[in-house]
Amino acid sequence: MSATRRTVISALAGVAMVGPAPAAILDDSPDAELLDLGARLEAAWTDERLAHEGPDAELSDDAYHRSAAVARRILAVRAYTLDGLRVKARAVAWCHDGDPVDLGLGEHRTTDLRLTHSILADLGIATIEDVPLGRPA
């Protein structure tokens, strides 16, 4: 069964952090900074979507720049846990406006690109149908 846009979006919703992580988790995680940034990205992205629906383009631009600033901070912080990687995956999803990531593998289905795409699919931000199993074609 191939992944549909709806199943990918549903998977993304499962990856999303709703609100800030509890303080106990942040204190104990080696990815405390990333988890905090993930919560900030979710809040900024929500504000961005709401502003985009409004009539004021300047508010939409400001909201975008806030999200972009958080995404750049996420890029600069190393992930040590799966939760940290999920935060980075959400930042990639933000870069693609929440749409599934398409690496455009085409004829270039080398193992390294297929593995990269597979990781993105496992994290819920790429469609798995584009990752052929077995030997490259």
What tens digit of pLDDT does each residue of 57-77 get? Answer: 777 889 999 999 999 999 999
Q: Would 136 be classed as within a structural domain? A: no
Q: Which of residues 92 and 111 earns the better pLDDT score?
A: 92
What whole-number distance in Å separates Cα of residue 93 and Cα of residue 50?
A: 17
Count of beta carbons in the 10 Å neighbourhood of residue 10: 12
What total number of domains does the chain contain?
A: 1
Average pLDDT rounded to a whole number, residues 3-11: 41
Q: How far is 87 from 124, CA to CA, in rounded Å?
A: 11
CB 81 within 8 A of CB 30: yes
Residue 108 confidence (pLDDT) above 50: yes
CA within 13 Å, CB half, 73: 15
User: CB of 68 within 8 A of CB of 82?
Assistant: no
Q: How far apart are CA 124 and CA 119, in angstroms?
A: 9
Whether 130 maps to a domain, the answer reads no
Q: Is residue 107 part of a domain?
A: no
User: In this structure, is residue 112 part of a structural domain?
Assistant: no
* Position 116 in a domain: no
Q: Name the one residue in this structure whose structure tokens are 């939409």.
A: 60
H or E segment and range at residue 111: helix 111-122
Domain that holds residue 9: 5-101
**Greatest extent of the chain over all pairs of C-alpha atoms, in Å:** 51
22-31 tens-digit pLDDT: 544 556 899 9
